[in-house]
Amino acid sequence: MTGLQVRIAVADAPAAGEVRLLELDRHTIGLYRVGDQYHALADRCPHRGAPLCSAGRAVRGIALDHGIPTRGAGPALIRCPWHKWDFDISTGRCLVQPRLRVRRYRVERDGDDLIITLRHPTPEGAAGREPERAAFTP
C-alpha cells in the first residue's frame, strides 16, 4: 500500500464549531477545529455506521476536562444523528461506550497548509512524495 496524504490551505479549513467534508480515496472525512488544533475523523459512527460528520453535529457549550464533559466555550464533541452518542473530536472516544472510537486521521500543519494522512507509506511506496492538493466538498 502506498501512502496517501493531502494538502489543504488553512484558510479553507473550518472555524471552531464547524466541519468541512473531504472526499478522499473513497473516504469521507470531516475536518474539525477544537481550539487551535485540527482533527480529521471518518464520516462513520463505529456503533452502527451512521454518517457521523456529514449528518451529526458538534455539541456546543461542552468541553472535555481530562475526559470529563464540562461546560465550555467551544464544541469538543460530535453527536451521532442516529442514537445521540457523543464522541470526543480530539480522541475519537465514545463517551457512552469508551471502547468505541471514531477512526481518526493525522493532521499536521505545514506553513499555511494542513496535511491529512490517510495511510502511511510503505518502504517501497511513495515516501517523500509531495502530498496532493485537495478541496472540500460543497
Residues 49-89 have pLDDT tens digits of: 888 888 777 766 565 566 666 666 555 888 898 988 889 88
Pick from 71, 81, 19: nearest CA to 45:
81
Instruction: Sketch out the chain's domains with CATH numbers.
Output: 4-133 (2.102.10.10)
Task: Pick the closest to residue 135 from 41, 34, 21 (CA basis).
Answer: 21
| SS3 assignment, position 12 | helix
Bigger pLDDT: 108 or 54? 108
pTM, full prediction: 0.75
Three-state secondary structure call for residue 65:
strand
Distance in angstroms (rounded) separating the CA atoms of residues 29 and 23? 6
Pick the closest to residue 16 from 81, 72, 98 (CA basis). Answer: 72
